[in-house]
Amino acid sequence: MTVTDPRAPGAYLDHAATTPMSSAALEAYVAEASRTGNASSLHSAGRSARRTVEESRETVAAALDARPSEVIFTGGGTESDNLAVKGIFWGRRTQDSRRRRVLISAVEHHAVLDPAFWLAGHAGAEITLLDVDDEGRIDLDALKAELANAPEEIALVSVMWANNEVGTVQPIREVVRLAHQQGIPVHTDAIQAVGQVEVGFAASGVDALTVTGHKLGGPVGVGALLARRDLPLEAVSHGGGQERGVRSGTLDGAAIAAFAVALQDAVTHRAERAERLAALRDALVDGVRAVVPDAVLRGPDPAATTSSGGPARLPANAHFTFPGAEGDSLLYLLDSAGVQASTGSACQAGVPQPSHVLLAMGVDEADARGALRFSLGATSTRDDVDRLLEALPQVADRARAAGLVSTRPLTGGAA
């Protein structure tokens, strides 16, 4: 697969945020965008657009071990997560008004956390955050205890397949096994996992799964929620009744076609790409530890495996904290040196906040503020890693010096 270069020059190490469109996906997008037709129209142009959508649905289903009828196209990951969390909650609550509890891991993306807490504020939901260990892995004993506590009141469980910040792969099949023993559906946000580790909808047993296009070499603004046909799922948006009546709106045929192409390619070449990226990731980790010895790798050891033998950490993820430095300072200084990365932390109302993921893992607030996430993708090369390692020592020193200045008490002068 060939890809377009990232927009800005330098080393792009933020593929977990978004990755460039592949040439095949871009070609599919342009070809479909040049045609006219609403997939809901009955004339020949509409039927042609519908055929593109349905063929793409079959491609997505085949790539993710699902039935085509289980694929609901959306405008991306956030919409899919909202549809899953709110839609399953309302669907289950309609069946049984006692079902008000929602169990989610404490390290979920805000696209899951925020709709869950919105339900708490607007729909009477009771949210339980499930503990994780110091590597960001869900505590299965804590989950089991919560599931045994009035299971008739639980609407759903949502646990991400792999964490977007520290790369921890979660024991999804164990989560499903425990939840299904109590008859409770499971949603998983698999946005970071698809294309990096093996993801199968049917094989995992999950009831709903989120995936999006722009993490895979597809366009921004398109994704899917995979949902079992018998899953109680209420609509979040209403209108024309498209997508099983739970996601109304005119379908973006061009984006859907490009998404399907990118997803198929990512899954088809997953094993070989993961091997290459893991080797590059390991070189990055070893290099950072060599040039900044007190940097702390967060999340599982790169060599660790899960109980099923798969990687315990995403192959394209490396997440560090740098003692005495602020993540924002590190980010801006690296950017000035031509290296683009991410702090992996939320920024609300212009005020940097320590990552909720790191705090849930037991990292203290001061250390959590010094976080940087480096994430690799199809365009990543050893030159990108070398450019980071060349710039990082001076960047870390300058960021620490800036931190010392900012915490030094003011003396003299009028207030």
Q: Which of 8, 347, 366, 404 is catalytic?
A: 347
Q: Does 251 qualify as catalytic in the annotation? A: no
User: Which residue, among 388, 371, 288, has the nearest Cα to 325 in the 3D structure?
Assistant: 371
Task: Say how far apart CA 114 and CA 74 lie, in whole Å.
Answer: 18
With H, G, I as helix, E, B as strand and everything else as coil, classify residue 142: helix
Residue 382 has φ and ψ, to the nearest 5°, of: -65, -30
CB contact burial 357-393 (16+ within 10 A = b; e otherwise): bbbbbebeeebbbbbbbbbbbbbbeeebbebbbbbbe
DSSP H or E segment with residue 72: strand 71-74
Task: Say how far apart CA 122 and CA 21 lie, in whole Å.
Answer: 38
CB neighbours of 91 closer than 8 A, spacing ≥ 6? 231, 232, 233, 234
Q: CA angle at residue 405 from 399 to 409, to 5 degrees?
A: 150
| Residue whose tokens read 């592949």 | 22
Q: What region does 338 belong to: left with phi over 0, alpha with psi -120 to 50, or beta? A: left
DSSP result, 155-219: EEEE--SB-TTT-BBP-HHHHHHHHHHTT--EEEE-TTTBTTB---HHHHT-SEEEEESTTTTS-
With H, G, I as helix, E, B as strand and everything else as coil, classify residue 16: coil
**Residues with catalytic annotation?**
347
